[in-house]
Structure 1
Amino acid sequence: MKATIAKQWLLGIGICLSMVSCDSDRVFERNDDFENRIWAAEDTHTFLFTIDDAQTDYEVSLNVRNSLIYPYQNLYTTISIEDSTGTEIYQTLKNTSLFDEKTGEPLGSGLGDIFDHQSVVVSGLRFPHTGTYTAFVTQAMRMDSLPEIMSVGIRVAKMEK
């Protein structure tokens, strides 16, 4: 048990360091943890972020952390983005592969039995104006309680010109 906690702690430190270093294009990134590693179908995660430059193209990515005993090969999520008036500017159903379809080997980066995935949701998104935006993320699997998902998050970054 202590070894698993130590591995999770080291993985978390490594991820934080990698996210902080050399990431000047990142506008926003936050991950929300799930209590007891369960993502309930009615549990929508809300992420508020600010766009200061409406003339730039952005890339929005989904972050997912899961354990090796997650029971499926993939994860379906619904992601929508609204401006401060509640107008939806983007919406999609995202299929993220967490394990190789043929071999069952985990994808993403990991340590021990925990793996992190970052997958692009939309690339080249131009926000219509500066201001506050809200991203909503819900799981869209066929289970009310999705086990062994540890966290979900959103990353918004300026695209290189």
Structure 2
Amino acid sequence: MKSITPVSVLLLFLVAATCKKSSDFKEIRDFPKNEWLIAHKQTFEFTITDTAPTYRFNYLVRNSISYPFYNLYLQQKLVDSSGNLLSGSMDEVILFDEKSGKPYGDGMGDIFDCRIQAPKLQAMKFSKPGKYRWILSHNMRPDPLTGIMSIGVEVIRNPQ
């Protein structure tokens, strides 16, 4: 049996110390039958404890190659614990190259994952700590919208 050397312990400690959590908040929700109903708004609740930095928000979309459009319109609302609207917009998310039809994002086979910045939420400053909700819904005509396997969000503290 090999013994653990001080050098390997130090190396392990350094690797663990340099690893940082990539997201302050990340959650993904799967849709049954890969269908997203317009009425099924997705509410993601997260807590902000540090108000000094700004935060950036990303959409996390998993779609199949059979998704019938090149884009996805998302309606987003960011609200505080009192229900006050902090941000709201409709954002266009591009999932495929419009001309070639080549899917964007990381994928294998017919499933692709895209991380897309929420344009209005790349330097969000929170005035007070607390719970916040980010509410997403799609704004596409078909109902249900097929080919969307999951939707998620990511909130990341910007470096100071």
TM-score, normalising length: structure 1: 0.84
* Pairwise CA distance, 1:24: 2.3
Q: Hey, what's the Cα distance between the residues in 1 that align with 2:131 and 2:22?
A: 18
Aligned residues between the structures:
141
Which residue number corresponds to residue 148 of structure 1? 147
Runs of 4 or more, structure 1, over 2 Å off, are: 22-25
Alignment partner of 2:69 out of 69, 72, 87: 72
Deviations 1:116-145 (A, max 9, x none): 011111201001210000010000011121
Q: Hey, what's the Cα distance between the residues in 2 that align with 1:23 and 1:83?
A: 27
The root-mean-square deviation of aligned C-alpha atoms, in Å, is 1.3
Q: Hey, what's the Cα distance between the residues in 1 that align with 2:60 and 2:70?
A: 16
Q: Hey, what's the Cα distance between the residues in 2 that align with 1:160 and 1:104?
A: 35
Q: Hey, what's the Cα distance between the residues in 1 that align with 2:95 and 2:77?
A: 21
Matches within 5 A, 1:12-161: 24-121=21-118, 122-161=121-160
Q: Hey, what's the Cα distance between the residues in 1 that align with 2:20 and 2:139?
A: 30
Q: What percentage of residue pairs aligned between the two structures are identical?
A: 36
The 3-state SS of whatever aligns with 1:36 is helix
| Structure 2 unmatched runs, 5+ | 1-18
TM-score, normalising length: structure 2: 0.85
Largest Rg, 1 or 2: 2
The 3-state SS of whatever aligns with 1:132 is strand
